[in-house]
Amino acid sequence: MTLTVDRRGAATWLTIDRPEALNALDSPTKQALAEALSAASADPGVRAVALTGAGRAFCVGQDLRELEGAYREGRAPDLADALERHYAPICRLLAEMPKPTLAVVNGVAAGAGVSLALACDLRLASDAARWRLAFSGIALVPDAGSTWHLPRLVGLSRALEMALLGDWVEADQALAFGLVNRVWPAEEFPGEAEAAVAALAAGPTLALGRAKALLRDHLQVGLDEALAGEAAAQVASGQTKDHAEGVAAFLDKRPPTFQGA
What is the binding site for ligand T3D (CB under 6 A)? 21-22, 24, 60-65, 79, 82-83, 108, 110-112, 134-135, 137-138, 140, 143
Q: How far is the CB of 88 from ligand T3D (least distance, A)?
A: 10
Smaller CB separation from ligand T3D, 62 or 240: 62
Contacts within 8 Å (CB) and 24+ apart, 36-45: 36/3, 36/5, 36/12, 37/90, 37/93, 37/94, 37/97, 38/93, 39/5, 40/12, 40/14, 40/97, 40/99, 41/93, 41/96, 41/97, 41/98, 41/99, 43/12, 44/260, 44/261, 45/10
Q: How far is the CB of 134 from ligand T3D (least distance, A)?
A: 4
Q: How far is the CB of 9 from ligand T3D (least distance, A)?
A: 32
Q: How far is the CB of 125 from ligand T3D (least distance, A)?
A: 16
Smaller CB separation from ligand T3D, 119 or 233: 119
Is residue 119 a contact partner of residue 145, using CB atoms and an 8 Å limit?
A: yes
Smaller CB separation from ligand T3D, 121 or 143: 143
Smaller CB separation from ligand T3D, 16 or 208: 16
Q: How far is the CB of 137 from ligand T3D (least distance, A)?
A: 5
State how beta strands 11-16 and 57-59 pair: unpaired
Smaller CB separation from ligand T3D, 1 or 76: 76
Smaller CB separation from ligand T3D, 18 or 158: 18
Separation in Å, CA 45 to CA 39, 61, 126 = 11, 30, 28
Q: How far is the CB of 67 from ligand T3D (least distance, A)?
A: 7
